[in-house]
């Protein structure tokens, strides 16, 4: 935790209470909800679970054997049924479920009935390929309606999906397939991003050379016949051909509340990504109630979450939460600056979007591009704004408030994680006054605390470790195939208490201010990466002997990646080697992991026990005076490094 961040936030005194008008119409507007949930959180969550349709009701709300929780025990339900079938039985059957816009243009609208038909057919396709309840299915697709159809079809038949973000490399895809031992891969010939083609099928073919568990590959034709994606006979099958013959009806599988709904890989402090497990009843309860209350979602709203489904935000707040609520969701395939920097605002105007949920990194980019872009469009339909993924700086919050929200929209800054499944700290917009830069209060029924190293609460306005002291329904049930790492990562610092890996402080009003990660995880444009993952990719290059990677402050991305690299004898430290190393990381992990800066060095500052002192590397990369160097094995190393890079960005 950096004291500078705390000091800066302490000076924030602006407060934005909800307007009377907003309050009156809000889904929740009685502050008593907080007390009720605090008094009896099991009763509270049981009431939330009633928002879902259950085939069989649970007999016990919670069984808690730290770190393992079971929620709504004995309950049977199906996530797909809750997102689709139950709406088809009502007036919503002809309501738009998905409004999709492609990057190069093109628009498709799928009603709940359309979704019902497509999902059932695709579920039958999966069955015909031998997928059974419990089998893992990997999904590597662009943001098109079919990715949602594929996820829901998996949920319908009880096959946990593992969605891999389309920006990940072949190697990252292979790692994730292998860890999950997925049987089927669903992909597309390609997708569009910023005017170019993302060759998904080519990457998938590359990955499949080293991923023997995959028996069949279903390929959606997004680019069209001209593109000619290579198909391997016997293994690769076209989506449209399979769908042409698929039977129309597929009954949803009754799933136990604790049956696995999906796996989602995320980065931790070591190089190996971890498969976060989410089960059905608790997860669906968490995402359904938070979507309805945090976004104040109404049936007539047009809701747009700009994330990719490859991340948890897409899982919880594009797919499961909004669809369980019967919402109309906009999904957009591409980049915010294609063909021009007003694309988001053009979409808001075109579909009259009411609720917009995006990331601080996007807001900072919009800010930099200038207000003339949103000004070109009519944004008067917007009534609520959200942010997620990283701390939002007060200036970006204010810009969002004024230039996008027209000063009238509440902003919900939502803190949560892949592991937490659903939003944890957030304003309820009809109740809580917001402060720029603060995620404000815990959602009802959530119990965060801020502790020091010894496990004592730190007190008002002091930085400490953010933890959650009681279980909650959407919490992860563990890491796929690695219970030891699960205990070690989240449950070993404090007994029976969930350790988030984030720093935070709480002010005198009880508001939480998030201060960033306290571990070796970095947050680049709201994407989680481990410094070790990037280091391993660098060391994999033949020229590299050793590498140390750190997150450094970046104006737009929040954090950028800086790498200190020791090269081997026989290689020359020059610009072209820097470029080659950056490219190597892109190839190993994906473009999101491309280092912003590479510093060549002959040595790295280490403690006497051999630990790299990243704090000092950060001082150098950010051009600050060096902190305490007394524990270094050889203080001359860091001094030499500093002199070499003094004042220069790279
Ligand atoms: C960070 C994304 C501050 C945090 C949903 C967390 C945030 C990590 C916020 C999880 C926020 C997310 N304010 N920091 N509103 N939201 N974070 O798993 O460091 O991709 O631990 O989940 O993002 O990232 P993940």
Classify residue 611 by burial, with Cβ atoms within 10 Å: 0-12, 13-18, 19+: exposed
Q: Is 211 in the pocket of ligand 1 (CB under 6 A)?
A: no
Ligand 1 centroid–CA 412 distance in Å is 14
Ligand 1 pocket check: which of 411, 474, 528, 529 to mutate, most ligand atoms within 8 Å of Cβ? 528
Q: Which atom of ligand 1 is nearest to the CA of 418?
A: 18
Ligand 1 centroid–CA 240 distance in Å is 37
pLDDT of residue 636: 86
Q: What percent of the chain has pLDDT over 70?
A: 98
Q: Is 533 in the pocket of ligand 1 (CB under 6 A)?
A: no
Average pLDDT over residues 598-618: 87
Q: Is 390 in the pocket of ligand 1 (CB under 6 A)?
A: yes
Ligand 1 centroid–CA 416 distance in Å is 5
> 2-11, 378-387, 557-566: which has the minimum mean pLDDT?
2-11
Are 474 and 436 contacting, i.e. CB atoms less than 8 angstroms apart?
Answer: no
How far does CA 403 lie from the centroid of its chain? Answer: 25
Average pLDDT over residues 249-273: 93
Q: Is 417 in the pocket of ligand 1 (CB under 6 A)?
A: yes
Residue 217 clears pLDDT 50, i.e. is over it:
yes
Q: Which atom of ligand 1 is nearest to the CA of 413?
A: 15
Residue 228 clears pLDDT 60, i.e. is over it:
yes
Ligand 1 centroid–CA 145 distance in Å is 26
Nearest CA to ligand 1 atom 12: 389
The SS3 of residue 557 is coil
Average pLDDT over residues 309-338: 98
Q: Is 310 in the pocket of ligand 1 (CB under 6 A)?
A: no
DSSP 281-339: HHHHHHHHHHHHHHTT--TT-EEEE-S-TTSHHHIIIIIIHHHHTT-EEEEE-S-TTSS
Band (pLDDT 50/70/90 cuts) for residue 608 is confident
Q: Which atom of ligand 1 is nearest to the CA of 392?
A: 13
Are 353 and 303 contacting, i.e. CB atoms less than 8 angstroms apart?
Answer: yes
Residue 8 clears pLDDT 60, i.e. is over it:
no
Average pLDDT over residues 58-87: 98
195 dihedral zone (left: phi>0; alpha: psi -120 to 50; beta): left
pLDDT of residue 6: 46
Residue 409 clears pLDDT 60, i.e. is over it:
yes
Band (pLDDT 50/70/90 cuts) for residue 272 is confident
Rounded to a whole number of angstroms, the CA Rg of the chain reads 24
**Rounded-to-10 torsion of CA 59, 495, 474, 504:** 150
Q: Which residues contact 144 (CB under 8 A, 6 or more apart)?
A: 100, 102, 188, 191, 220, 222, 333
Calpha distance 404→60 (Å, rounded): 45
Q: Is 388 in the pocket of ligand 1 (CB under 6 A)?
A: yes
Q: Is 313 in the pocket of ligand 1 (CB under 6 A)?
A: yes
Q: Which atom of ligand 1 is nearest to the CA of 313?
A: 5
Model confidence pTM above 0.85: yes
Beta bridge partners of 193: 196
DSSP character at residue 403: I
pLDDT of residue 297: 98
pLDDT of residue 276: 98
> 1-5, 195-199, 259-263, 361-365: which has the minimum mean pLDDT?
1-5
- Closest C-alpha among 220, 428, 403, 388 to residue 308: 388
Ligand 1 centroid–CA 273 distance in Å is 16
Q: Is 501 in the pocket of ligand 1 (CB under 6 A)?
A: yes
Q: Is 413 in the pocket of ligand 1 (CB under 6 A)?
A: yes
Nearest CA to ligand 1 atom 23: 389
pLDDT of residue 273: 87
Nearest CA to ligand 1 atom 13: 391
DSSP 184-245: EEEEES-EEETTEEE-HHHHHHHHHTT-TT--EEEEE-SS-GGG-----TTTEEEHHHHHHT
Calpha distance 256→267 (Å, rounded): 28
Q: Is 308 in the pocket of ligand 1 (CB under 6 A)?
A: no
pLDDT of residue 347: 98
Q: Is 559 in the pocket of ligand 1 (CB under 6 A)?
A: no
Ligand 1 pocket check: which of 417, 435, 558 to mutate, most ligand atoms within 8 Å of Cβ? 417
Q: Is 290 in the pocket of ligand 1 (CB under 6 A)?
A: no
DSSP 50-81: TTS--SB--SEEEEEETTEEEEEET-EE-HHI
Average pLDDT over residues 629-642: 85
Nearest CA to ligand 1 atom 10: 417
Phi, psi (rounded to 5 degrees) for 107: -145, 140
Q: Is 502 in the pocket of ligand 1 (CB under 6 A)?
A: yes
Calpha distance 219→199 (Å, rounded): 12
Largest interatomic CA distance in the chain = 73
Element (H, E) at 512: strand 512-517
Residue 634 clears pLDDT 80, i.e. is over it:
yes
Beta bridge partners of 467: 449, 499
Q: Is 389 in the pocket of ligand 1 (CB under 6 A)?
A: yes
Ligand 1 centroid–CA 371 distance in Å is 27
Owner of token pair 């309840």 = 133
- Closest C-alpha among 343, 345, 355, 374 to residue 304: 355
Residue 610 clears pLDDT 60, i.e. is over it:
yes
Q: Is 268 in the pocket of ligand 1 (CB under 6 A)?
A: no
Are 1 and 515 contacting, i.e. CB atoms less than 8 angstroms apart?
Answer: yes
Mean pLDDT, all residues of the chain: 95
Nearest CA to ligand 1 atom 15: 415
> 15-29, 265-279, 304-318: which has the minimum mean pLDDT?
265-279
Q: Is 162 in the pocket of ligand 1 (CB under 6 A)?
A: no
Phi, psi (rounded to 5 degrees) for 578: -55, -50
Calpha distance 506→500 (Å, rounded): 15
Element (H, E) at 412: strand 411-414
Q: Is 645 in the pocket of ligand 1 (CB under 6 A)?
A: no
Nearest CA to ligand 1 atom 4: 390
Q: Which atom of ligand 1 is nearest to the CA of 316?
A: 5
Are 586 and 549 contacting, i.e. CB atoms less than 8 angstroms apart?
Answer: no
Q: pLDDT (tens digit, 9 = 90+) per residue, 440-494?
A: 999 999 999 999 999 999 999 999 999 999 999 999 999 999 999 999 999 999 9
pLDDT of residue 623: 85
Q: Is 312 in the pocket of ligand 1 (CB under 6 A)?
A: yes
Ligand 1 centroid–CA 425 distance in Å is 10
pLDDT of residue 613: 85
Nearest CA to ligand 1 atom 3: 391
Ligand 1 centroid–CA 458 distance in Å is 21
Q: Is 415 in the pocket of ligand 1 (CB under 6 A)?
A: yes
């Amino acid at each position: 935790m950096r004291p500078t961040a705390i000091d800066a936030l302490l000076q924030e005194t602006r407060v934005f209470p909800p307007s009377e008008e907003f309050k009156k119409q809000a889904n929740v507007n009685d502050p008593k909800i907080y007390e009720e949930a605090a008094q009896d959180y099991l009763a509270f969550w049981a009431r939330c679970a009633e928002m879902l349709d259950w085939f069989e009701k649970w007999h016990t709300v919670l069984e808690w054997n730290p770190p393992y929780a079971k929620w709504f025990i004995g309950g049977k339900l199906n996530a797909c049924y809750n997102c689709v079938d139950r709406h088809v039985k009502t007036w919503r059957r002809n309501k738009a479920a998905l409004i999709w816009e492609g990057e190069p243009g093109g628009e498709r609208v799928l009603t709940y009935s359309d979704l019902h038909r497509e999902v059932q057919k695709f579920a039958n396709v999966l069955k015909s390929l031998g997928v059974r309840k419990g089998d893992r299915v990997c999904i590597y697709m662009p943001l098109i309606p079919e990715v949602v159809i594929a996820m829901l079809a998996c949920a319908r038949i009880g096959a946990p999906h593992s969605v891999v973000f389309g920006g990940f490399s072949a190697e990252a895809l292979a790692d994730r397939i292998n860890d999950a031992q997925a049987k089927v891969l669903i992909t597309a010939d390609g997708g569009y991003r910023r005017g170019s083609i993302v060759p998904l099928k080519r990457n998938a073919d590359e990955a499949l050379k080293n991923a023997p568990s995959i028996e069949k590959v279903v390929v959606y034709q997004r680019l069209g016949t001209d593109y000619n994606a290579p198909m391997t006979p016997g293994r690769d099958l076209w989506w449209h051909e399979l769908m042409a013959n698929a039977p129309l009806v597929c009954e949803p599988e009754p799933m136990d509340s604790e049956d696995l709904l999906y796996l989602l890989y995320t980065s931790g402090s070591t190089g190996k990504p971890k498969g976060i497990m989410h089960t059905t009843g608790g997860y669906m309860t968490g995402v359904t109630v938070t979507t309805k209350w945090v976004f104040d979602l109404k049936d007539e709203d047009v809701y747009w979450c700009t994330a990719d489904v490859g991340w948890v935000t897409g899982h919880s707040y594009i797919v499961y939460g909004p669809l369980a609520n019967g919402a109309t969701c906009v999904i957009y395939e591409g980049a915010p600056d294609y063909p021009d920097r007003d694309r988001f605002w053009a979409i808001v105007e075109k579909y009259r979007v009411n609720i917009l949920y995006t990331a601080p990194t996007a807001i900072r980019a919009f800010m930099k591009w200038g207000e003339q872009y949103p000004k070109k469009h009519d944004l008067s339909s917007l009534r609520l704004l959200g942010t997620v993924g990283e701390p939002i700086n007060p200036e970006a919050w204010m810009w969002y408030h004024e230039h996008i929200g027209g000063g009238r929209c509440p902003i919900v800054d939502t803190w949560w994680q892949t592991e937490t499944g659903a939003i944890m700290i957030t304003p309820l917009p009809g109740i809580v006054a917001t402060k720029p830069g603060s995620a404000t209060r815990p959602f009802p029924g959530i119990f965060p605390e801020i502790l020091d190293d010894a496990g004592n609460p730190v007190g008002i306005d002091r930085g400490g470790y953010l933890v959650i002291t009681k279980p909650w329904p959407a919490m992860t049930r563990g890491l796929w195939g690695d219970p030891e790492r699960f205990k070690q990562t989240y449950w070993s610092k404090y007994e029976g208490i969930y350790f988030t890996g984030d720093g935070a402080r709480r002010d005198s009003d009880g508001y939480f201010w998030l201060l960033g990660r306290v571990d070796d995880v970095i947050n680049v444009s709201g994407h989680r990466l481990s410094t070790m993952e990037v280091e391993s990719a660098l060391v994999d290059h033949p020229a590299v002997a050793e590498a140390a990677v750190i997150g450094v402050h970046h104006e737009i991305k929040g954090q950028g990646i800086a790498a200190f690299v020791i090269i081997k004898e026989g290689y020359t430290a020059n610009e072209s080697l820097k470029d080659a190393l950056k490219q190597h990381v892109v190839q190993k992990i994906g473009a999101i992991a491309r280092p912003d800066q590479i510093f060549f060095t002959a040595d790295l500052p280490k403690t006497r026990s051999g630990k790299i002192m990243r704090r000092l590397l950060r001082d150098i990369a950010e051009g600050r005076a060096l902190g305490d160097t007394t524990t270094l094995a050889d203080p001359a190393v860091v001094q030499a490094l500093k002199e070499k890079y003094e004042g220069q960005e790279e």
